[in-house]
Structure 1
């Protein structure tokens, strides 16, 4: 993506605050479409878990087709839209293609979608089980070291772990991209 090694940092105590600041702004911007709230997901949402320092978020929207109208509005506020899943709109901030410059990722999806269930279930499982969280952290650190700059391989190699955790909670991982 940008020729920089994958950086997995120790848990940042400012990550929840950074999410809250962005959540307030997103709730204002997405008010016409919002249903289900704006959630902090991914590794930065799990206290004590090392992560790439990008705040991952997911906003529930009543109707994904209607929410496409939010794309230019989010772009005016520093987000760039990029393809993801058919059941979600995905954005990153800032607009740069450089992974090392990204501060936020945002998914818009309908509550109850596969993505919605996967991301919230996985986050909640890691929050509830420190041993599972620590196992995931060891995996992430090993994969970051093994894959260097290859974010796609890093993410793909987390898939089996994510699938196992979700299956233990009655959720099947979809065919879309996954990993936190």
Structure 2
């Protein structure tokens, strides 16, 4: 059984993202607009589960089938949107040399991508909110140490509150 652990912020997370970005770009760089480091590991000073979240940005969903095909050849399975509209998840079929990561492909105008970037950029410029969000995450990890769904649902209220404030 996996235990949810919040690690202290680590500057190496940005370096790990860069290594993964270069690898992904080598497979699909000509099909995409960009590759963004999102999630808690992308915010300096924010503790996180040590898993890099990556949004691969495409012009629109017409590119998705080509991306799926290339990533399949590179050893990634397409997992669908996992219940979140505007975001397609991929998982490596084998363990590679990188630290753990979640890979998503998003259209540039999609809600999933927009929300990830807006929340990341807000936290990067609001240190008080970083401390507040870290406390939420730590409390949830203590309350639900083995229930990732409850942990994620618990964070959702805080995240949606910030997004409502900055996107409306």
- Same fold judged by TM-score > 0.5? yes
Task: Identify the residue that residue 112 of structure 1 maps to in structure 2.
Answer: 109
Considering fraction of residues, name the structure with more helix: 2
Q: Secondary structure at the match of 2:4?
A: coil
Q: Indicate which of 14, 28, 35 corresponds to 2:12.
A: 14
Q: How does 1:1-180 map to 2 (within 5 A)?
A: 3-35=1-33, 37-84=34-81, 85-93=84-92, 95=94, 103-170=100-167
Distance 1:167 1:126, change over 3 A: same
**How far apart in 2 are the matches of 1:113 and 1:62?**
10
Structure 1 contact 94–102 (Cα < 8 Å) conserved:
no
- Deviations 1:141-180, CA, capped at 9 Å, x for gaps: 1001101111111000111100111111125xxxxxxxxx
TM-score by length of 1: 0.83
Structure 2 contact 32–56 (Cα < 8 Å) conserved:
yes
How many equivalent pairs are there? 164
Q: Secondary structure at the match of 1:29?
A: helix
Q: CA deviation at 1:6?
A: 0.7
Structure 1 contact 64–88 (Cα < 8 Å) conserved:
no
Please list every run of 5 or more consecutive structure 2 residues that lacks an aligned counterpart in the other structure.
none
The alignment yields a C-alpha RMSD, in angstroms, of 1.9
- Deviations 1:45-98, CA, capped at 9 Å, x for gaps: 0001110111101011123243223224324434332232342211234647xx
Q: Secondary structure at the match of 1:6?
A: coil
**How far apart in 1 are the matches of 2:11 and 2:128?**
20
